Amino acid sequence: MSRYGDIGRPVMLYEAFIDWRDEKVREGEAAGLSLQEAMSKADFPSFLYGPISTSLYKGYTRVQPQYRRYGRVESLNDFRARRIKGLNGIRGIGYVGDQGEYPEMRRTERPSASLQIDTYGGVYSVTRQAAINDENGALLRDNPEEMGFEAGNFVTEAIIAFIESNPTAPDGTALFHSNHGNTGTAALSEDALADAISTMENRLDSDGRRITVRPRTLAVQNVRMELIANRIINSQLTGATATIAQAAGAGANIFDKGTDNPLQGILPGDAVVRDPFWSDANNWYLLADPNDVPAFAIGFLNGREEPQVLLKNPEARVSGGGGNDPYTWEVDSVDFKVRFDFGTGTVDPLGAYRSVVT
């Protein structure tokens, strides 16, 4: 491999670019193509852009964001607020009988949610001397990857901070509120999880009709909580070897004592999500499938979830010919900008339950 083949470790960046340019010319001549003298120092920033962009995306995916488990992802075409309409179920089936009149069915709307995106980002500069001295490849490998890592962290942290802030629901009440019946204070246990699932599955829509909300994700903050959650929903056995003496008839109400684990499979096997961005080590969240009953929505401009990296064009022309200098006029640098457009919003309180452990 040539010294510019592994673009993260060129000894001298500009010399690596020259080698890259010369090879492109030789490849063109071998193919019978006539290449113009368009490749000059002005192309140097473009030469850098490729590895920077690749490293940035790698850094972003390193975060492994889990926000698709928390909310429904929406693609927005602009920065204006979008309304997300909610519909209650169709109702009105009644008795018809022989030659009877069919009743008119109807459905009503829930309060509309609002989702709006905004722009976030930062700039990153590689100075001329730093580029020339970049012997270990940190500028084109480690630093840009860290830019992507930071971008991924920012998006995930912003979404989780929004959820933890207990934002206002479309009906004007805090999302997690006693009016919505979706908040508790119990530590994660068999009893607490069973109660939370029962609460979510026995909900009423704004018409007062019973609906079915199936919990899909159990979000926790740390490994210990993840192990407890997985034990509760995936263990075949409880580990108990003895029964507990109960008053007559009371034993039927004790579901978490005995040999078999009655909660096994009550949630999907991959329901538990551990994310260190949650601020409390003991709190836990139960969420419905966001494609079914989304508690939250996350919007991205034109559906682009990865951050963009942009390169500033050189502004200085070398006197006496030779094209443009690859560095900016003011500070002899190659300047990159990271930009991404996203936003979060609440949709339906029925799709979430949280326990703030006291």
* pLDDT > 60? residue 69: yes
Q: What is the pLDDT of residue 86?
A: 73
* pLDDT > 70? residue 24: no
Q: What is the pLDDT of residue 305?
A: 86
Please report which confidence band the pLDDT of residue 87 belongs to, taking 50, 70 and 90 as the band edges.
confident
The mean-pLDDT minimum among 35-44, 105-114, 168-177 falls in 35-44
Residue whose C-alpha is closest to residue 342's, from 308, 310, 309: 308
Contact status, residue 158 vs residue 151, Cβ threshold 8 Å: no
CA angle 34, 35, 37 (to 5 degrees): 135
CA angle 65, 68, 71 (to 5 degrees): 125
Please report which confidence band the pLDDT of residue 34 belongs to, taking 50, 70 and 90 as the band edges.
very low
* pLDDT > 80? residue 35: no
Residue-averaged pLDDT of the chain: 77
* pLDDT > 50? residue 268: yes
Q: 307 versus 78: which is more confidently predicted?
A: 78
Q: What is the pLDDT of residue 288?
A: 93
What is the percent of the chain with per-residue pLDDT over 90, rounded to a whole number?
Answer: 30
Contact status, residue 347 vs residue 84, Cβ threshold 8 Å: yes
Strands 72-76 and 296-301: parallel
* pLDDT > 50? residue 11: no
What would the pLDDT profile of 89-120 be if each residue is shown by its tens digit? 787 888 898 888 998 888 877 778 889 999 99
What is the distance, to the nearest Å, from the Cα of residue 85 to the centroid of all Cα atoms in its chain?
A: 22
The mean-pLDDT minimum among 92-96, 247-251, 333-337 falls in 247-251
Round to the nearest angstrom and report the end-to-end CA distance of the chain: 59
* pLDDT > 80? residue 295: yes
Q: What is the pLDDT of residue 217?
A: 95
Give the chain's domains with CATH numbers.
40-81+108-240+255-355 (3.90.1690)
What would the pLDDT profile of 280-290 be if each residue is shown by its tens digit? 999 999 999 99
Q: 64 versus 33: which is more confidently predicted?
A: 64
Determine the Cα–Cα distance for residues 288 and 237; give it in Å rounded to an integer: 26
Q: What is the pLDDT of residue 74?
A: 93
Mean pLDDT, to the nearest integer, of 1-17? Answer: 40
Q: What is the pLDDT of residue 150?
A: 81
Residue whose C-alpha is closest to residue 189's, from 233, 219, 253, 243: 233
Q: Which of 13-27, 47-61, 304-318 has the highest mean pLDDT?
A: 304-318
Mean pLDDT, to the nearest integer, of 68-88? Answer: 87
185-191-197-201 Cα dihedral, nearest 10 degrees: -110
Q: 326 versus 224: which is more confidently predicted?
A: 224
What is the percent of the chain with per-residue pLDDT over 70, rounded to a whole number?
Answer: 67
Residue whose C-alpha is closest to residue 190's, from 238, 251, 252: 238
Cβ neighbour number for residue 82 with a 10 Å cutoff: 19
Please report which confidence band the pLDDT of residue 330 belongs to, taking 50, 70 and 90 as the band edges.
low
